[in-house]
Amino acid sequence: MTARFTIAGLNNGHDKSGFSCGVPALDQYLRTQAGQDIRRHIANCFVAVASGSNAIAGFYTLSAASIALGDLGDDVAKRLPRYPVIPAARIGRLAIDQSHQRQGLGAAMLFDAAERALRSDAAIFAILVDAKDKQAAAFYRHHGFTPFEAAPMTLYLPIATAKKA
């Protein structure tokens, strides 16, 4: 990554207008829905901006979630309490502007999300993601996420694994 970035919560000082990640639904979400989700306490949105700029280079959302114990598989579930659901954090969206793709910013934002989840006062077992496509799923698998057997486009990373990284 050549530019230095700051990652912070989305606010009115950030310029969303020029953001284009190549997925119209994600571009539209940032421009029209992210602020509403923050105000309604549905999801928090974090943005990366290059030093000296207010233009958004990337963003992700983070919210509370849960995992049905049975979805984890016997090898993982046997080490957990027998609660019907296990607490988690969900990265709902992660997108990088086309001018900053393939420079490591996506991985940096993923790391930032894991750090925020680790610092949370709420206890969580894992971080969840819903991959948009096979390329996104491969990105998450590359970073240690495991797909659910019954839903391979939904992946999780145990927080204990994130802590070690």
Domain count, the chain: 1
Which one of 29, 60, 140, 156 is the catalytic residue?
140
Task: Give the length of the chain.
Answer: 165
pLDDT in tens, 138-159: 999 999 999 998 899 999 999 9
Least Cα distance to 58 among 12, 23, 88, 86 occurs for 23
Pairwise CA distance, residues 99 & 165, whole Å: 28
CATH of the domain at 102: 3.40.630.30
Give the model's confidence band at 29: pLDDT under 50 very low, under 70 low, under 90 confident, else very high: very high
Contacts of 26 (CB under 8 A, 6+ apart): 93, 95
What is the tens place of the pLDDT at every residue in 91-127? 999 999 999 999 999 999 999 999 999 998 889 999 9
51 pLDDT band (50/70/90 cuts)? confident
| 83 a catalytic residue | no
Query: Where in the sequence is the domain holding 100, given as residue range(s)?
Result: 5-164
Confidence (pLDDT) at 1 = 45
pLDDT over 70 at 3, yes or no: no
Please give the model's pTM, rounded to 2 decimal places.
Answer: 0.91
